Amino acid sequence: MTTDAETLKNHIEAALSRARRRTLDLTDLDDETIRRQVSPLMSPLVWDLAHVGNYEDQWLLRRIGPSARAARPELDDLYDAFRHPRSTRPGLPLLEGEAARTYLARVREEVLAELDAVEPEAFAGTERLLADGFVYGMVAQHEQQHVETMLATHQLMGDSAHPPPGAIDPAVIPSTPTDDTAVVEITGGSFSKGSVDHPWALDNELPPHTVETASFGIDRFPVTNRRYLEFMAEGGYDRPELWTPEGWDWRLEQGLEAPQFWCLEDGVARILRFGTRYEVDPAAPVQHVCWYEADAFARWRGGRLPTETEWERAALTDIGTRPGGSDPEATGANLGGRHFGPLALGALPSDDRGEGCRRTIGDVWEWTATPFHGYDGFEAFPYREYSEVFFDGRYRVLKGGSWATDPVAIRRSFRNWDFPVRRQIFSGFRCAYDLEPPSRHYRRGPRPSNR
C-alpha cells in the first residue's frame, strides 16, 4: 500500500463506503424482519446494524482526530458483544431500524471529517493505531465480517429469504469441464507464515515466523458437490469409523445426513439458497459443512484435513487470486458478494492455467485441522477480545474466505475460526495427503517462494 497520504485516505474511504453499502443493503427491510431472530446462533439484523456503528464510534471518533468525542456513549453496553450473547439480544432495548441508520450516518459523517483532518505524517508515524491507516482498516474489516454474518442470517430465513441485492446467480456463469480430483504435490521446506508486510493485518496473523513442512499432497481445488455426493452415496454418514468420536455423537444427535440446506428428493440433491431451491451443481465447491463432516470426508478419501501451515504453504502456489485491493472485480477471485454462492470449477480463467492450487481465496472458507491459537510472540492489539479470548482450544481455523468475503477482509495470512459444529457459515474444505494421493490425477506444483 502506498504511503502517499491522499491516496491512503481515498483507499480508506473506499473500504469504509463499500462495507456500509453492503450493510445498508442487507438491512433495508421492515422493522419486524430486522428485529426478528431467525436462529439463536445469530443476532437480529438490527443489532448488527447498530453494532457496526457503535464499533466505529468507539474506534474512529473517540481515539482518532483532534476532537476525540463519542457520538452516543450510552450505547456501548447495549452493543457489547461480550456482555450480551447472541441468544439474548432480541430482548434488549435495541434501536429501531431508522434510529440505527441515523446513528450510523452521523458517525460516518464525523469520521470522514476527522479523516480529512488527519495530518499526513500521522500515517507514517510510530503510533500503531494510525500507522498506514491501520485502525480504519480494522473498522472496515470488522464491518465486512458482520456483513458476512448478516448474509448467513439471511440464508437461515429459509423460504422467506431473498438473494443479496445486486448479486449474480452463480449458476448462470459459464464454465468448462475441470478435473476436480487433481492433487498437487507440495515440496517440503521452509517458508514465512503469517503476515509479513500487510499494513492492516490483525493481531492473530502476527508475528510472521519461519516454519518447516514435510512434502505433502493437497487437492488442487476445494472439494466439489460431485465428490461429496459420492461420499454420501457410499454411506459416509453411516460409517462411524470415518468420524471422530465427538463428530459421530454430533452426527447422531443432530441427525446429519447431508450439508445444511440440502434435501434429497427422488434421488436428486437440491439446496435451498436464499429462498430458492436449486439442483445442486456438481462442479461447484460444497459449502455449509461442519468440521466434523469435512474430517469424515477426508478419511473416506484416504487423506486428512490440511494443517493451517500446510494450507498457507499450498496457497503460495495459487496464481489466480491476489486479494487485498479496493476493487473486488480486480482480485480474480469469487469475493465481495458479486455472486451469491460458489462458482463451478472452470468458471474462472485461472482454474485450468498452470500448476499449483487454485481457489484458495474466495468461494468457501476452508476448514483446517489446526485449533485456533496465537503464534509464538503473539501480542493482543488493540484489544484482547478480537483474538486472545478464543485461544482455548475449542475452535478450528478456517482459511481463504468465501464468496461473501470482501477483499479488504481476506489474504493468505488471514485467520477465521469457529466451533467444529458450525454449518451456517459459508464453509467448505480441501483434503491433504501424507503419501501417494489416491488418484491417478497428480500434478506437481512449483516450489513455493518466501515472497
Confidence of residue 321 (pLDDT cuts 50, 70, 90): low
C-alpha closest to that of 325 among 413, 406, 416, 414: 406
User: d(Cα 236, Cα 258) in Å, to the nearest integer?
Assistant: 10
- Read off the DSSP letter of residue 205: G
Q: What is the pLDDT of residue 84?
A: 96
Q: What is the pLDDT of residue 3?
A: 56
Q: End-to-end alpha-carbon separation of the chain, Å?
A: 16
What's the mean pLDDT in 401-425?
97
Q: What is the pLDDT of residue 322?
A: 64
What's the mean pLDDT in 30-54?
97
Distances (CA, A) of 176 to 2, 284, 332, 347, 349: 38, 12, 17, 7, 10
Q: What is the pLDDT of residue 69?
A: 76
State yes or no: pLDDT of 42 exceeds 60: yes
Q: What is the pLDDT of residue 34?
A: 97
pLDDT per position as a tens digit, 99-112:
999 999 999 999 99
Residue 288's CB is within 10 A of a number of other CB atoms, namely 22
pLDDT per position as a tens digit, 166-176:
999 999 999 99
- In the chain, where are the structural domains located? 5-160, 170-444
Fold of 5-160: Four Helix Bundle (Hemerythrin (Met), subunit A) (1.20.120)
C-alpha closest to that of 413 among 200, 171, 254: 200
What's the mean pLDDT in 232-240?
98
State yes or no: pLDDT of 444 exceeds 70: no
State yes or no: pLDDT of 318 exceeds 90: yes
Confidence of residue 326 (pLDDT cuts 50, 70, 90): very low
State yes or no: pLDDT of 445 exceeds 80: no
State yes or no: pLDDT of 451 exceeds 50: no
CATH class of 170-444: alpha beta
